[in-house]
Chain A
Amino acid sequence: DAKTTQPPSMDCAEGRAANLPCNHSTISGNEYVYWYRQIHSQGPQYIIHGLKNNETNEMASLIITEDRKSSTLILPHATLRDTAVYYCIVRPRSNDYKLSFGAGTTVTVRA
């Protein structure tokens, strides 16, 4: 599986957009980029995933560079409830369905 690199922590202001970077320079053509988040000690929550194209849903937008070596998760209007650990995961489309969670980025939204 491709390895991902995320900053260990970042702060953002409430009401502003939060841009979370992720590097996955060894990603291969059949690997998806997934984003999950974990609020305090709750179970992780799925946010979004993508393969090549940019994606948007009700929670966030995912921007994947043209070479697919990095991506950015955008929370358009961060709220205090978005404070969480955010995980970027790369996994192939295959019969191996396991997901491994790394250290992630601890995002703190400040009032």
Chain B
Amino acid sequence: EADIYQTPRYLVIGTGKKITLECSQTMGHDKMYWYQQDPGMELHLIHYSYGVNSTEKGDLSSESTVSRIRTEHFPLTLESARPSHTSQYLCASSRDLSGANVLTFGAGSRLTVL
């Protein structure tokens, strides 16, 4: 069983609202990631962190921001949600396995902005 948790699983909000998607992992992993995926489309990396106080932007530009104050938490924030932010957001953390980097994903947060 994956020990990475995302809340909320589903969120429907109005335009202009501030939202925070929570991601927590109990595995003590230093590396964490946020991916964005539209229905039927590819996953795109939007943020990642290799440790506390370390955050970087991913391959896809995103208006969201992230923070990493504690090892186990990697929340994602949208200051002012817009319909274009409607998507699924997937959080992951990773461990070293025989020299390879193996990701464990959460169940995702599906965001709908009206």
| Residues on A facing B (Cβ under 8 Å) | 32, 34, 36, 38, 41-46, 49, 51, 91, 93, 97-103
Contact = CB atoms under 8 A, between A and B. Distances in A.
17 contacts: A34-B100, A41-B88, A43-B105, A43-B108, A44-B90, A44-B103, A46-B104, A49-B97, A49-B100, A51-B99, A51-B100, A97-B50, A98-B48, A99-B101, A100-B45, A101-B35, A103-B42
B112 interface: no
Q: Which 4 A-B pairs have the closest CB atoms?
A: A43-B105, A101-B43, A97-B101, A49-B100
B46 to A, nearest CB: 11
Nearest to B40: A41
A93 B101 CA distance: 8
Nearest to B48: A98
B58 A98 contact: yes
Query: Chain B contact residues: over half helix, strand or loop, or mixed?
Result: strand
Interface of B: 2, 31, 33, 35, 37, 39, 42-43, 45, 48, 50, 58-59, 88, 90, 92, 94, 97, 99-108, 110
Contact of B94 (A42, A43, A51, A97): A97
Given A41-B88, A41-B108, A43-B108, A102 B103 contact: no
Contacts of A38: 43
A46 B103 contact: yes
A43 B108 CA distance: 6
Given A43-B107, A43-B108, A93-B99, A101 B90 contact: no
Given A42-B108, A49-B97, A93-B100, A101 B88 contact: no
Contacts of B58: 98
